[in-house]
Amino acid sequence: MKNLIFVALAIIVAGAFSIVGAQEPTTGSPPPIGDNATPVDNSIKLRSVELERIKREAEKTAVLRREDGKELKFSIVKEDFEGIQKEQMLIVDAYTKSREINYQQISKSSNKITEMAVRLRANVFAPEGSENKDEGDAGVAEAANPFVGKSVRDLIVALDNVIGAVVSNPMWQKLAVIDPETSSVVEANLLDVINASTALWLESNKMSSK
């Protein structure tokens, strides 16, 4: 799963969005300027730092216009795409690396995954202008959720599998192009992520209250 995460992150950052440039500095502080640098050198370096800052600000609001006219907000799609995977890693760690299973962390992370998967599904697949329309419809009622009733362990495995199916799909390489067949698979997998994470949230809450 972790290999899929790294590959998928590379795809969505480097392949799907041409607006992302070279790797940015990890901190907001300017690079050190040598004592023997001339005023001209210092000015060039400072301008470079400012350009990097402006580029980062622009990327926060950058959009990708799909061929059907729908605008995909880069920052939100990227945040949810990466966030779902990061929270799943926290769930796995909470189950396998703690002396006792950390059901509270599993509950917290599974709830975040549900929220991000709902938003990602709406941003990528919902018709233009309908992203915020009754997001609750994206979640399936407990009685109709095929994952409800499974153990925490089985739900973690199931969630890991469906997240892997989402992030490894080639659709993310060409988000501006609509491939109905591929898109329908990703949307169905996202719905599985929503349902599995919801079921995991319910089951981990039950276990933490015991």
The answer as to whether 9 is a domain residue is no
Q: 47-72: buried (b, 16+ CB within 10 Å) or exposed (e) per residue?
A: eebeebeeeeeebeeeebebeeebeb
Number of domains in the chain: 1
pLDDT along the chain (210 residues), means of 10: 46 43 42 46 55 53 62 80 94 92 96 96 71 45 82 96 92 77 90 96 90
Phi (first) and psi of residue 140, to 5 degrees: -90, 140
Using DSSP's 3-state secondary structure scheme, residue 63 falls into strand
The answer as to whether 193 is a domain residue is yes
Global confidence as pTM: 0.65
Distance CA 19, CA 45 (A): 23
The answer as to whether 146 is a domain residue is yes
Q: If you write DSSP's letter for every residue of 147-209 in order, what string do you get?
A: TTT--HHHHHHHHHHHHHHHHT-GGGGGTTS--HHHHHHHHHHHHHHHHHHHHHHHHHHHHHT
Looking at residue 180, its pLDDT comes to 82
The answer as to whether 7 is a domain residue is no
The answer as to whether 127 is a domain residue is yes
Full domain range(s) for residue 124: 63-208
The predicted-structure confidence for 136-191, as pLDDT tens digits, reads as follows 444 445 668 999 999 999 999 999 999 999 998 888 877 777 778 888 899 999 99
The answer as to whether 42 is a domain residue is no
The answer as to whether 1 is a domain residue is no
| DSSP, res 30 | P
The answer as to whether 173 is a domain residue is yes
